[in-house]
A and B are shown apart, each in its own frame.
Chain A
Amino acid sequence: MKGRIVFYDRTYYPFSKFDGKCVGCPTRLRSMAVTTRLTWLQKKILQNHFGDKKFSLLYKASVHGFSTQDLHNRCCNQGPIITVIYSENVVSGVYVEENYQGGTTDSIIIFVLRETEISECKANSYNLFVNYNDNAQYCINLQSGNVLIPPQIAKRLELPPGHQYSFQECEVFRCEDTVDERKIQGLIQLRDQLLLAMRVYKPSGNLVNQVKILLLGPIGAGKSSFFNSVKSVFQGYVSHQALVGDDTTGTSKNYRVYSMKDRINGASLPFVLCDSLGLGEDEEGLCVEDILSLIKGHVSDRYQFNSMKPITSSDVKYIKYPQLKDRIHCAVFVFDINSIEHLSYGMVAKIKRIRREMIKCGMLHVVLLTHVDSMKLITRGDLIDIYSCVPVKLKINAVHRNLGFSVSDILVVSNYSSEWELDAIKDILILSALRKMLWTADDFLEDFPLE
């Protein structure tokens, strides 16, 4: 332990008077908190690699002491563990799949993490943590700060030839599944609460019976899929009522006003979703004039859009004198989250123009980002707390920066696209997004001049 004393605070606080024996070590400096040295990205890559795991840091050598005894006290019987070793310029370690109890472990996985790449190799070990280097197997000697890697393994992991590698820090984490039964139970409860809240929702001031939500966005953004997803959640199984597809010229051609039925009592739900033609480059897709007509409620269900020619008052589908119930109460800009940085200049300008028009006529709007499930590094477990997930935060900030929407108006979902079964995790994202849309509609109705 010599030389490591620098890690401790010099002032030794007196131990409790009643405490006969001095158990424990001196108070630490605040900077010495037990936090991992892995960066967010490194930790995430490891967690994903070993199967969507959550890591709980159990032991950190520089804090808890460089001794096998200290490590075993904290890390035995904690279930599967992962040990991470920090050497001069490489992060390596070992994953123990079974409950680690000290002593012999049948199968271990030795890995090396370089940048974002993991190389690994399976091995056996008699004693993972040792005090004396008398072993030809892979082992870690905390006392001397060395890890012993047999040459053939070192070669497979592309480590420089050698036998012993010294390290500065060693951390041990317990690995749990991010999505376990306990969480699923909680999520199902939460889902049911949200579902109930939305079934009994009444638009503000009873001004209308149903709130109308308009979905707008580039072709293939996932507008129709969002409707399908909402419908699926409320009917209890996955629905594919609206046609979805990957046609680059747009799948949905008609304006559709979808009303949904409640599975439980067959009543209509207090909101309808309006699906439109996608926005295209230049003159393609939905035109801005049509959007204004949609918002004001001039267009009726099943109107066939024509990107060249906006709807006119002579069209049979044109409603001349729309009432409050016909107009849109909340507009939603839908984007594929992966496309945010790749939107063309023209598309950005178009979106900004539409937004400007909306602000002019007081139309409140939110942003919905779809396809989170297909983002790099994002796993199913991440969807539980998606808004605090670093890559998603970056995307949200990009939307804020590039398009000017306020951060609190940006929602994230993962639509049902290829699944057969409902998933409480996705349901919660979909329902929270819907809840925010209903709140926005309420704000709109409250703000609406009464004349």
Chain B
Amino acid sequence: MAVTTKLTWNEEACLINQLGNVSLSLLYKSSVHGYSMSDMLQRYTCEGPTITIYFSNSIVGFLMLERNHKQTIWFTLRKKKDIIEMPTLLLNTVLKTTTEELSFLSYCGETIFSVNLKAQLIFLNHMLNAKIRLPVNSCSRANISECEVFRVEGIKDNRGYLKRITEVTQYRNKLLSDLRAYKPYADLVSEIRILLLGPTGSGKSSFFNSVKSVFRGRPTQQAIVGSDSTTSITEQYRIYSIKDGVHRQYLPFMLCDTMGLHDSEGGGLCVDDIPHILKGCVPDRYQFDPCKPITSKHPTYIKSPSLKDRVHCVAYVLDINSIDNLSSTMVAKLKQIHKEVITCGIAHVVLLTKVNNYDEVLQVNFLNVNKSTTSQKQVMNVSKILGIPIFNILIIGNHTSKWESDPEEDILVLSALRQMLRVTDDFLEDLPKEETTCGYFYYESTSCRLSQIYC
């Protein structure tokens, strides 16, 4: 008999994907290698992480990082409308083996799961049965037709791995629904405008694509991205609103994509355009001219922008790998821009893109993005250059090469977005009363001084 798994190819693919693109090697299959406990146990020794799967009328399995590791992940695989689902549960367990039985006990000694291979029987306690939501009619004691043991290769980092596998999707979905439900402070505006600024090729357009993809649930590339040695790919000012894939409504924030900043003077986005952009005078699809800034004579210039047209938050997008060798002109440009932004009192954050080690960056509890690791130096550096506090320096990985979305990447993108909305709320709350209530809007900036009245 051939030693191949009883899982269908789609089930196997789902399992591999959920565990973070690991590879599985089938080591033991009871119908071929005999229903003997010692034979099976032998496969657990010296193999590192293993998965054991029992086939009854449903599929129950568990993942152990190593024999006698105190935590195990329990899962089932089931089909729901062509899509295979994999509910998981993380448990603290104690493994106990006798010649007849293998069982997992809770810390207080209650049997959570047991198997008797010879009798081809498994037992699941009520809690486990309910938590991984096995079909209701499957009783807690079931006959099994097959038992398989796999070695798992490619588990990156043991610390927090199990917790992440079981909770990452949940956390991502929570972030998603939080952001969908977000309302700007005191309903001053219906949509927050976030401006993306940064050097050419730093990933501004990609960030928009990533955000849109997460909310859409499929990869999208509405903004053209790529690289071109000479110029910026994006040449127009674009104000993107994003439609939610689920509720088909516009999300409460817009992303404004700009042309990249160049190392040389007279190339890329013209720094003098920025005050106009910040005030909301520049229309969607405005074609940037690197040599001269927009003027109020431009046919579509927005002469009297209101609070809703203004930029509410600026995100400086920088490639994390380029931080240490930014040219002096670039640093000067960024400093000049930042001075402008501060004068206008606009909320601001830094987005560091192209991190490779985001699984290291992401902490076990997802609550804090961990900056104490390899990216620490760059974060400190940016903080020094721009004088932006570390907690407003966010690290992301854009969806660039993958077909399937990766929940960890999603979490980074969504957390960054959430942080932007938080700082923007502070900004809105901080606005002088006159500006918000009666629509008067007095504006002062370093490069031009104007007061505009909006009624």
**Chain A contacts to B: CB under 8 angstroms:** 13, 15-20, 23-25, 27-28, 30, 33-35, 56-58, 63-64, 73-74, 77-79, 174, 176, 180, 182-183, 185-187, 189-190, 193, 352, 355-356, 358-360, 362, 364-365, 387, 396, 400, 404-409, 432, 436, 439-440, 442-444, 446-447, 449
Contact = CB atoms under 8 A, between A and B. Distances in A.
A364 B25 contact: no
Given A16-B94, A34-B47, A35-B153, A447 B221 contact: no
B323 interface: no
A219 to B, nearest CB: 24
Contact of B10 (A77, A79, A186): A186
B10 A23 contact: no
Given A406-B221, A439-B218, A185 B26 contact: no
B286 to A, nearest CB: 13
Given A18-B96, A19-B97, A406-B225, A77 B33 contact: yes
B96 A16 contact: yes
B166 to A, nearest CB: 21
A74 B27 contact: yes
Interface stretch (B37-45, B313-321, B424-432): B37-45
Contacts of A387: 403
B221 A440 contact: yes
B58 to A, nearest CB: 19
Contacts of A58: 25, 27
B interface, how many residues as a size bin? 35 or more
Interface of B: 2-5, 8-10, 13, 25-27, 32-33, 38, 41-48, 66-68, 82, 94-98, 105, 151, 153, 158, 206, 218-222, 224-229, 233, 235, 243, 285, 399-403
A34 B228 contact: no
B226 A404 contact: yes
A400 B218 CA distance: 22
Nearest to B212: A443
Contacts of A442: 220
Contacts of A15: 68
A178 to B, nearest CB: 12
Given A16-B95, A33-B153, A186 B13 contact: yes
Given A18-B96, A34-B153, A449-B285, A352 B228 contact: yes
9 contacts: A13-B68, A18-B97, A24-B67, A28-B48, A58-B25, A74-B42, A180-B4, A182-B9, A400-B226
B45 A74 contact: no
Contact of A447 (B25, B153, B222): B222
Contact of B26 (A56, A77, A189, A396): A56
Contacts of B401: 396, 407-408
Contact of A24 (B4, B46, B235, B402): B46
Nearest to B151: A34
Contacts of B227: 400, 404, 406
A79 B218 contact: no
B245 to A, nearest CB: 11
Contacts of A447: 222
A223 B355 CA distance: 36
B68 to A, nearest CB: 5
B8 A185 contact: yes
Contacts of A187: 9
A97 B68 CA distance: 37
Contacts of B233: 359
A440 B32 CA distance: 48
A404 B96 contact: no
A193 B82 contact: yes
A364 B221 contact: yes
A220 B96 CA distance: 65
A20 B100 CA distance: 13
A446 B222 contact: yes
Contacts of B47: 34
